[in-house]
Each structure stands twice: as structure tokens, then as C-alpha cells.
């Protein structure tokens, strides 16, 4: 039969644990106060070197600094890193970001920027760019050699924009290098994708349907010189029937 644990010993053990817990809590609070109050841990203002930003090509440094505006002048210990990372991910052109704290008072931000895959027509108002996820990107000074994506509006829901950008990317992947010359892709009708490309000083629009884009485009390239010779004014060509290329008549007001 086990011997009962003496009550005095219970009291002694409890007292020791209570003292140890109190000392640990006291030590933690003292250390925390030291990290908060000691000037060596002060996160300096933007003119200092406490904030380091990398990977930001189109995201302006001052925009990143604005995310940390509430942190400058106080201890780096108090910076809520996950909150600041979440805020950075809402900044235009930022796809993702990491925020790391290095003692005593240094914060390193690494930005992963979004990559535009097309631009929206000028008729949509602001000259938006758009990435592979359908996220709209404000214009920047850089010049991008990108096709115009027709059939997407800034007011469209994100999921719709993502789906239609996916159609554009599907066409471009199928066409391979031949797709680099495209000036515009119209994805308004999922059953009939239209690709426009400049040829001989004019723009030709090709009706590609919903499949076999590379095959149909190759067929057009093969017979383009003959089409050009016989019908020099042809501007819209229907490639959806496998064994023929049809010129689509244009209305007089077009």
C-alpha cells in the first residue's frame, strides 16, 4: 500500500513552485520592460537605418515605410510583425512579403512583387495592368511589352478577372513564341477567342475558337502571304474551320 504524501511536504512543494513561478514572471516582466524602454532597441525614423527593404522594384520605399509609421520612435520589440506583413500584402504590386526583426532595432522587409501579364484597354479609364491572378496593378514608369486583354473590366469581380486572364494565358502557352507578337486578345466569348497581331503595318484579327490555337495559327502563317496577295484589305480572318480560312466582312462603320 503506497505511503501517503505528507501534507507539510505538499505545502513545501507548492510554496517552492509558487516562488519559482513568481520569479519567472518577475524576470519576464523586467526583461520585457528593458526591451521596451532601453534606447538601444528604438526603431528609428525612416531617415535612419532601422528599416531595410529588398525586392521592391515598383513598390515605392515610402509606401513600405508608411506601413511602419506607428512603429517609428518606439521599441522594435513592440512591432507586430504578422500585422505588418498582412498590411504589406494589401499594397499595390505586392504579392507577398516577409518581415524579420533583428536585434537590437533592425527590421528587414523582403517584398515579392506581382508580375503583369497584360494591360486593359484604354477605354476602361485608368491604364491598368493585370497579373495572372486577375489582380489589377496601377501603371508604373516601366514599359511592358504586353498584350491588351479585351473582355475584362476593372469593375469585374476578382474571380471573373482570374478566369479570363486564365484564358489569355492558355492561348499564350499554346501558341508559344508565336504569341509574343500578339497586340491584343479578346476573351469576351469563351467559345471564340480572338487574337490581334500587327502584320505589314496593319492589325489582323484572328478568330481562333476555343481549342487548337497553335495549329490554327500555324495554318494562318502558312497561307498568310497568299491571303495578303489575293485580299490585301482583309482584317478579320476566321480560322475555326480546320480546312479553310474565311475572311469576315467588316461593316462600313468599322
Q: Which pLDDT does position 219 carry in this prediction?
A: 92
Q: Which pLDDT does position 208 carry in this prediction?
A: 96
Name the packing angle between helices 158-175 and 213-230 (round to 10°). 70
Superfamily of the domain at 42-113 = membrane protein fhac (3.10.20.310)
Q: Which pLDDT does position 12 carry in this prediction?
A: 72
- 109 with 51: CB under 8 angstroms? yes
Q: Which pLDDT does position 149 carry in this prediction?
A: 97
- 238 with 231: CB under 8 angstroms? no
Residue in the structure block whose three cell numbers are 528599416? 51
- 196 with 184: CB under 8 angstroms? yes
Give ranges for CATH 3.40.50.11690 in the chain.
Answer: 116-247
pTM of the predicted model as reported, rounded to 2 decimal places? 0.82
Q: Which pLDDT does position 31 carry in this prediction?
A: 65
What is the mean pLDDT for each group of 10 consecutive residues in the chain (254 residues)?
65 73 70 80 82 93 93 94 97 96 94 96 80 94 91 95 96 94 94 93 93 94 90 90 83 54
The CATH number of the domain covering residues in 116-247 = 3.40.50.11690
Q: Which pLDDT does position 252 carry in this prediction?
A: 54
Q: Which pLDDT does position 33 carry in this prediction?
A: 80
- For residue 102, which of 155, 23, 49, 33 has the smallest C-alpha distance? 49
Give ranges for CATH 3.10.20.310 in the chain.
Answer: 42-113
**DSSP letter string, 60-125:** -HHHHHHHTTTTTTSBGGG--HHHHHHHHTTSTTEEEEEEEEETTTEEEEEEEE--EEEE--GGGS
Torsion sign, CA atoms 161, 166, 167, 172? positive
Amino acid at each position: 500500500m503506497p505511503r501517503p504524501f505528507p501534507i507539510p511536504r505538499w505545502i513545501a512543494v507548492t510554496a517552492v513552485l509558487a516562488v519559482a513561478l513568481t520569479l519567472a514572471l518577475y524576470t519576464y516582466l523586467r526583461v520585457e520592460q528593458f526591451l521596451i524602454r532601453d534606447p538601444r532597441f528604438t526603431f528609428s525614423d525612416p531617415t535612419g537605418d532601422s528599416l531595410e527593404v529588398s525586392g521592391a522594384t515598383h513598390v515605392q520605399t515610402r509606401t513600405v515605410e508608411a506601413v511602419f509609421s506607428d512603429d517609428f520612435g518606439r521599441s522594435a520589440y513592440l512591432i507586430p510583425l504578422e500585422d505588418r506583413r498582412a498590411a504589406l500584402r494589401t499594397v499595390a504590386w505586392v504579392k507577398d512579403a516577409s518581415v524579420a526583426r533583428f536585434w537590437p532595432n533592425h527590421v528587414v522587409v523582403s517584398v515579392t512583387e506581382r508580375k503583369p501579364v497584360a494591360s486593359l484597354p484604354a477605354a476602361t479609364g485608368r491604364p491598368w495592368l493585370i497579373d495572372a491572378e486577375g489582380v489589377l496593378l496601377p501603371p508604373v514608369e516601366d514599359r511592358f511589352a504586353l498584350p491588351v486583354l479585351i473582355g475584362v473590366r476593372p469593375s469585374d469581380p476578382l474571380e471573373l478577372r482570374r478566369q479570363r486572364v486564365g484564358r489569355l494565358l492558355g492561348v499564350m502557352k499554346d501558341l508559344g513564341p508565336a504569341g509574343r507578337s500578339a497586340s491584343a486578345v479578346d476573351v469576351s466569348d469563351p467559345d471564340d477567342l480572338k487574337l490581334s497581331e500587327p502584320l505589314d503595318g496593319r492589325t489582323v484579327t484572328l478568330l481562333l475558337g476555343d481549342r487548337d490555337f497553335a495549329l490554327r495559327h500555324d495554318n494562318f502563317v502558312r497561307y498568310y502571304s497568299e491571303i495578303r496577295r489575293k485580299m490585301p484589305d482583309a482584317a478579320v480572318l476566321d480560322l475555326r474551320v480546320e480546312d479553310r480560312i474565311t475572311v469576315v466582312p467588316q461593316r462600313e462603320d468599322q
